[in-house]
Structure formats: C-alpha cells, structure tokens
Amino acid sequence: MKTCSAKDFAKILEKKGWVLVRINGSHHIYSKDGVEQKISLPVHGNKSLKLGMQKFFMKVAQITDSDLI
C-alpha cells in the first residue's frame, strides 16, 4: 500500500464528502453526515502519514487503495 501525505489525504476526504469542521493546531478535524466518528488528521507539512494511521482513516472513511493519489 502506498502512503500519502496528510495534505493529499485531506483532498481525498473532501472528494468523498467529508467536511473540514475545524482546525486545532496542526490537526484538521473532518466529519461527514451519517458517520458518527470524526477524523482528526495530523497535517505536518508534506510528511507521509504512518501506515497504521492511514489504514485506520481509510477504514473509517471507506477509502480504497485505488482512491489514493
């Protein structure tokens, strides 16, 4: 699986209907209607997300490997 930066992952989330609710420091908080859980995405420049964290976010947001940039 390819890891991507948080900035790229944020673009994917927004394409899938997730909305940026607020920013708390370097964490961007996303939510979506009909999904109880929120995603707190740590945006640290162009650093790649850790693989385990990315897999968790993908599971919550129902994103597949083919959706990744």
- Give, in words, the CATH class of 6-67: alpha beta
CA geometry: angle 60, 17, 21, nearest 5 deg: 80
pLDDT at 6: 94
Would you state the structure tokens that stand for residue 16, as one six-digit string?
């899938």
17 has a pLDDT exceeding 80: yes
69 has a pLDDT exceeding 80: no
The residues spanned by each domain of the chain are 6-67
45 has a pLDDT exceeding 90: no
CA geometry: angle 36, 2, 34, nearest 5 deg: 15
* Burial bucket for residue 12 (CB in 10 Å: 0-12, 13-18, 19+): middle
51 has a pLDDT exceeding 80: yes
20 has a pLDDT exceeding 80: yes
63 has a pLDDT exceeding 80: yes
